[in-house]
Amino acid sequence: MSKNVIVFVTGNVKKLEEVVQLFKKFYEGSPVPFHLTNINIDLPEHQGEREEICTLKANEAFKIIKGPCIVEDTSLCFNALGGLPGPYVKWFLKPVGPMGLYRMLQGFEDKTAIAVTTVAYVDKQGKVTIFNGETNGTIVEPSSIETFGWDSCFKPDGYEMTYAEMSKEQKNLISHRMKAMLKLKEFLDQTLPI
């Protein structure tokens, strides 16, 4: 096992599975320079801009973990609504589900959206570095296939299927989460001791 341990702070099992798969793919054929563990900490839900929210969450996580950690915040930004629900999509999704998100845009011609993952990495000194990944797409009537979150109503540009209808491998090639985590991987490759 590597001497570098990084804790991914999430209680979302599906998100954890996705991130573990991504790092395995990123380092395919090479040794991973760190060991990724997980802890479920109930961090405060901050309000503000995406990067501000993620930085605040990262600082809270570091106070508890006292070592290198990753926090992630995912947003779904409807262009017709000026970027809402954005980082608050989790709170919209809970009561209305993917169908409710789709219905929010019924009165608008513009159904485009941007899926954004913001990742904050905190090093052993407590310094926070932010990485963003974005995927453009369209909000569509939810497919009958459910995976998690709003995957069933988000169709990425250039595809005729939603995230939910894609295989995990296919989604991981284009997702907003993959793009943010790839930037994190490239940063860690440059900064972690081997």
Secondary structure (3-state) at 16:
helix
Is 74 assigned a ligand-binding role in the annotation?
Answer: yes
Is 11 assigned a ligand-binding role in the annotation?
Answer: yes
Is 57 assigned a ligand-binding role in the annotation?
Answer: yes
Is 107 assigned a ligand-binding role in the annotation?
Answer: no
Is 112 assigned a ligand-binding role in the annotation?
Answer: no
Is 176 assigned a ligand-binding role in the annotation?
Answer: yes
Pairwise CA distance, residues 180 & 169, whole Å: 16
Is 172 assigned a ligand-binding role in the annotation?
Answer: no
Is 151 assigned a ligand-binding role in the annotation?
Answer: yes
Is 50 assigned a ligand-binding role in the annotation?
Answer: no
Is 91 assigned a ligand-binding role in the annotation?
Answer: no
Neighbouring C-beta atoms of residue 114, cutoff 10 Å:
18
The DSSP code sequence of 141-172 is: SPPS---STTGGGEEETT-SS-GGGS-HHHHH
From the number of C-beta atoms within 10 Å of its C-beta (0-12, 13-18, 19+), residue 33 rates as middle
Cα first-last separation, the chain: 12
Burial pattern 66-82, b for ≥16 Cβ within 10 A else e, equals eebbbbbbbbbbbbbee
Is 82 assigned a ligand-binding role in the annotation?
Answer: no
Is 45 assigned a ligand-binding role in the annotation?
Answer: yes
What angle (nearest 5°) sits at the alpha carbon of residue 112, between those of residues 110 and 118?
Answer: 145
Peptide bond into 85 cis (omega under 30): yes
Question: Which residues are annotated binding-site positions for ITP?
Answer: 10-15, 57, 73-74, 148-151, 171, 176-177
Question: Which residues are annotated binding-site positions?
Answer: 10-15, 45, 57, 73-74, 148-151, 171, 176-177
Question: Which residues are annotated binding-site positions for Mg(2+)?
Answer: 45, 73
